[in-house]
Structure 1
């Protein structure tokens, strides 16, 4: 039933170190619910009832929240093989904490929480690895959310942009790189307007700090960029 997506699922962090055959058998036990969505469709809506951890087997989604002013803030952009909903999965809260929207046609497998934590009579090695992987993922997500809070606390647009670009540089160890976000998505992620972001990027380019074309960026003056932090 899930053979079609095994090549994708074997790469999912949740199933790390689990052999292909063991994963196939485990999926039959876990019995995730498969749902297909069209581009721009709402996959989850914040405060709706939680339906299980989502695994993206095809397509791309964005995770958003509304701030107190009612403005939408993009929390993350997720691709094939990524998961969402893991933070709330084992809490007392049974509501989705954020809204997830399909940015491309996509297929999601929803994994029931109760199937992860129990109901496996043999408690096979694969299931033990599944629980270990889940703990690692939740810890990593907590760190990512903490980083997002730090971004929201930064007041200066230039400081936000410089911080983001330097993080991308440290991720790839190259002065020239592609960012994973489109311009409007980057503006949402940094919690600034798109026109303000565009103006700041143009200024930074004119001042010789960076060069860019669409999603391709190059850091020209590393020290000057660091001085903005």
Structure 2
């Protein structure tokens, strides 16, 4: 039943380290449900009862929230193999924190927290990987949110951008790298408008501090960037 989606499921971080054959057997044991959605159909609405995290099997979906004036803002877009709703999996509130909308015809697999943490009837090795992977995912998300608070404590847009680029440089170890966020995601992450972000990046390029093309960045003056990040 699930074999036709194995290629999408296998790349999801939740199933990291689980062999395909074992993954297929484990899914038959756990029996997560799969739902189909049409383009622009609501997959989940913020405030709905939470029934389990979602994994995109095919298609794509936008994770959105409404701002203070009622405009819908896209937080991120999830595609095949991506998951959403994992941070609410073990919350006592049991409500969806954001609205999820299919951007095209999509299929989504849902897994409840009971499936993830519950006792596997067959005591399969893959289920232990599932639990460990879930703990890592939640931990990484918490650390990322903590890091975001560090960026938001910096008052200037230039300082936030510089700090983010320095962190990427320290992580990767080279002056040339691909950002893990696209321009819209980067603006949302740093809590700045897309035009303001692009304007500041262009200024940094004109000043000879860096160069960029789409998600590709080359730092040309690392010392100047470090000073701006302080």
**Residue in structure 1 matched with residue 31 of structure 2 by the alignment:** 31
- 1:73–1:189 Cα contact (<8 Å) kept: no
Distance 1:25 1:31 in 2: 10
TM-score (ref. length: structure 2): 0.84
**Residue in structure 2 matched with residue 219 of structure 1 by the alignment:** 219
**Residue in structure 2 matched with residue 129 of structure 1 by the alignment:** 129
State the 1:94 CA deviation.
0.9
**Residue in structure 2 matched with residue 52 of structure 1 by the alignment:** 52
Cα root mean square deviation, aligned: 2.7
**Residue in structure 2 matched with residue 203 of structure 1 by the alignment:** 203
SS of the aligned residue for 2:199 comes to: helix
Distance 1:145 1:207 in 2: 31
State the 1:206 CA deviation.
1.2
State the 1:76 CA deviation.
4.6
**Residue in structure 2 matched with residue 144 of structure 1 by the alignment:** 144
1:186 aligned onto 2:186? yes
TM-score (ref. length: structure 1): 0.84
**Residue in structure 1 matched with residue 112 of structure 2 by the alignment:** 112
Structure 1 unaligned spans of 5+? none
Distance 2:102 2:150 in 1: 26
1:156 aligned onto 2:136? no
State the 1:191 CA deviation.
1.5
**Residue in structure 2 matched with residue 21 of structure 1 by the alignment:** 21
Structure 2 unaligned spans of 5+? none
SS of the aligned residue for 1:100 comes to: strand
